[in-house]
Amino acid sequence: MKRYLAKRLLQMIPVLLGVTLIAFFIIHLAPGGPMTVLGGDAALLDPTQVERIEQAYGLNQPLYVQYFRWLSHVLRGDFGTSFVENRPVMEMYLERLPNTLYLNGIAILLVYLVAVPLGAISAVKQYSKFDYTVTIIAFAGDALPNFLTALLALYLIAMPSKGAIPMGGIASYGMKVEQVGLGLFLLDRARYLILPLLVVMCQSVTSVTRYMRSSMLEVIREDYVQTARAKGLAERVVIYKHAMRNALIPVVTLAGSVIPALFSGSVIIEQIFSWPGVGLLGYRAIAGRDYPVIMAFLTLGSVVTIISFLVVDLLYVAIDPRIKYD
């Protein structure tokens, strides 16, 4: 097990190097550049001015030199300074990370709390009215792109609510714990959380439900479930103790793709609801060709992704005794 872990950790190094290398070259190859933001109407700049800006930001050096300089800084924990805002990238990232963790953390927790039982019941009562209802809603929810759900939520819920449910943002102006007290503060926060949460869940609940349902369907046909029934165990024990625990294994795999989203945010949701999270930071950096911020966004995203897949693989050992890494 230790050897396996060491091997996996070592494998991360070339993967991360590859990811950052490819990302670095691709974003520098994309048309446009930070010049458009730094220099306003780039075409109207005089050439000496362009050279001066390129020199100040180190953009006049060969790409590979820029990459290795970036890499050596990152290895020392320094993601550099944003071209656009001229302040440390980590500072910008960390001031937004709590907002993304806050929304996605609650969302993921709720998604699993709702989706797992829904999927399980749906499978146990296959072809019942309940099953059909859940399946139809699940398909619909999955088919609706979340930008559409978001806009529908704005027009059908927020606008008629006359301000009770805000259209975007994360808190009301002037709502600070020390001024209004914890109760009002949390209530205000909750109002702003409703719509983004609803939209995130609308999409995610459906996919997890369908995973859970099909996994459960497979398991309850297994011999050992039949055996458990034959032993005369109560149906509840059969389902919840024997079947459901095994059916959860594939659902755990999903966590591998869910955890990175916790850290990288959801660009669409953050955009539409003006949620000051990490995804929006990444998107704005890409639009403005703010290379250091883009690289930090991609690198941290890759690190979290790779680590979460490792965590998922390790979780298997804990929940499935058949799996062992040597």
CB nearer to another protein: give 123 or 261: 261
CA 217-125-122 angle, to 5 degrees, is: 65
Q: Which of 3, 13, 14, 31 binds another protein (CB under 8 A)?
A: 31
CB nearer to another protein: give 146 or 299: 146
In the 3-class helix/strand/coil scheme, how is 24-43 assigned residue by residue?
HHHHHHCCCCHHHHHCCCHH
- Roughly how many angstroms between the first and final C-alpha of the chain, as a whole number? 5
Q: In whole angstroms, what is the distance from residue 181 CA to residue 37 CA?
A: 41
CB 313, CB 1: distance < 8 Å? no
Is 180 a binder of another protein (CB under 8 A)?
no
Contact region with another protein (CB under 8 A), list: 14-22, 37-45, 114-122, 222-230: 37-45
Is 111 a binder of another protein (CB under 8 A)?
yes
Minimum distance between the CB of residue 127 and another protein, rounded to whole angstroms? Answer: 28
User: How many whole angstroms from its chain centre is CA 147?
Assistant: 16
- Of residues 122 through 161, those in contact with another protein by CB under 8 A are 145-147, 154-155, 158-159
- Of residues 278 through 307, those in contact with another protein by CB under 8 A are 280-281, 283-284, 287, 289
Is 18 a binder of another protein (CB under 8 A)?
no
Minimum distance between the CB of residue 255 and another protein, rounded to whole angstroms? Answer: 10
Q: Which of 66, 104, 149, 299 binds another protein (CB under 8 A)?
A: 104
What are the φ and ψ backbone dihedral angles of 125, each rounded to 5 degrees? -100, 50
In the 3-class helix/strand/coil scheme, how is 87-132 assigned residue by residue?
CEHHHHHHHHHHHHHHHHHHHHHHHHHHHHHHHHHHHHCCCCHHHH
Minimum distance between the CB of residue 249 and another protein, rounded to whole angstroms? Answer: 19
Q: 25: which 2 tokens?
A: 């070259």
Contact region with another protein (CB under 8 A), list: 5-13, 41-49, 68-76, 311-319: 41-49
CB nearer to another protein: give 14 or 160: 160
Give Cβ neighbours of residue 178 (< 8 Å, ≥ 6 apart). Answer: none
Is 39 a binder of another protein (CB under 8 A)?
yes
Q: Which of 75, 173, 183, 223 binds another protein (CB under 8 A)?
A: 173
- Of residues 222 through 281, those in contact with another protein by CB under 8 A are 257-258, 261, 266-277, 280-281
CB 125, CB 155: distance < 8 Å? no
Burial 76-110 (b: 16+ CB within 10 A, else e): eeebbbbbbeeebbbebbeebbebbeebbeebbee
CB 150, CB 268: distance < 8 Å? yes
Q: From residue 163, give the alpha-carbon distance in Å to each of 154, 159, 174, 184, 243.
A: 11, 7, 16, 16, 46
CB nearer to another protein: give 59 or 238: 59
Contact region with another protein (CB under 8 A), list: 66-74, 99-107, 126-134, 313-321: 99-107
Q: Which of 44, 75, 182, 318 binds another protein (CB under 8 A)?
A: 44
CB nearer to another protein: give 168 or 314: 168
Minimum distance between the CB of residue 135 and another protein, rounded to whole angstroms? Answer: 19
Look at the block and give the residue holding tokens 């290398």: 21
Number of residues that bind another protein (CB under 8 A): 74
Is 38 a binder of another protein (CB under 8 A)?
yes
Minimum distance between the CB of residue 1 and another protein, rounded to whole angstroms? Answer: 30
